[in-house]
Amino acid sequence: MVAAALPGVRRVEHVMGMPIVIDLRDEGASDGMLDRAFDEFRAVDARFSTYKDDSEITRINRGELALADAHADVRAILARCDSLRSETRGFFDVGAASPEALDPSGLVKGWSVDRVAALLSAQGLRDFAVSAGGDVVTRGRARPDDCWRVGIQHPTISEAVAKVVAGTDLAIATSGTYARGHHIVDPHTGRPPVGVLSVTITGPSLATADAYATAAFAMGTNGPAWTARLKGYEAMTILADERVLLTPGFPGADA
């Protein structure tokens, strides 16, 4: 039996140093909508990349551009980073490496996906998903299915799924060592956290979920107690002994 073709259109491109997948399930979705969405990701990358010599973030770090003269998006992102640093007791810190080398990438990725999701919704789309480097925003239904099902990669078993998150309008962000090695450190000690393999956060905003996941992972074994007090966001923490800790409202069913 040949499976029925999915409605809509979908595409994957490598932008911002990672694969980005956009899956539009509305009947009226078009390649032009995908073009506009990926153009937005490229515009964000041009402004915020720490690898591009002419980006505003790079120019700020070199002292060539004053923050007051930067684009409104840059000022807003850095202001949100400051508030998140306070909210997470310093565990989310874009200046952890050096105050002279700001790197807001940990917020920009999720923020850019939220921004593209809003752009797609403004074009009348209702059923779609956007994934950037494994972090996902879903809207509506995964037509013809009733909801989207997103697999959370197991942190120690290659190609295995630790849990499946099911939902409609949801953001899902995961931080751990399995994708990029020990790239997250405790800003207070400068060392990678111990006792934890991954943290997944779900909630309404991918930018905030991603920042919370990064902070909770950096906290190590103190992370679950912190995520238990979050409002509007749920968490799954996989500890080094492979125990899985879930907040009561964490969505989905076991894979």
pLDDT digits (tens, 9 = 90+) for 110-155: 999 999 999 999 999 999 999 999 899 999 999 999 999 999 999 9
What is the Cα–Cα distance from 219 to 103, expressed in whole angstroms?
Answer: 19
**How high does pLDDT run on average in the chain?**
92
Q: What does the pLDDT look like over 170-209, one tens digit per residue? A: 999 999 875 554 577 888 888 889 999 999 999 999 999 9
Contacts of 62 (CB under 8 A, 6+ apart): none
Confidence of residue 253 (pLDDT cuts 50, 70, 90): low
Q: CA dist 172 to 1, 55, 89, 186, Å?
A: 33, 28, 22, 22
What is the Cα–Cα distance from 125 to 120, expressed in whole angstroms?
Answer: 6
At 178 the pLDDT is 59
At 254 the pLDDT is 47
Contacts of 106 (CB under 8 A, 6+ apart): 92, 94, 210, 211, 214
Using a pLDDT cut of 90, give the percent of the chain over it.
Answer: 84
CATH 3.10.520.10 is the classification of domain 9-246? yes
Confidence of residue 251 (pLDDT cuts 50, 70, 90): very high
Q: CA dist 153 to 110, 157, 172, 176, 217, Å?
A: 18, 8, 12, 10, 15
Mean pLDDT for 68-84 is 97
Quick one: tokens of 61? Answer: 């770090």
User: Are 33 and 18 a contacting pair, CB within 8 Å?
Assistant: no
User: Are 237 and 244 a contacting pair, CB within 8 Å?
Assistant: yes
Domain boundaries defined on the chain: 9-246
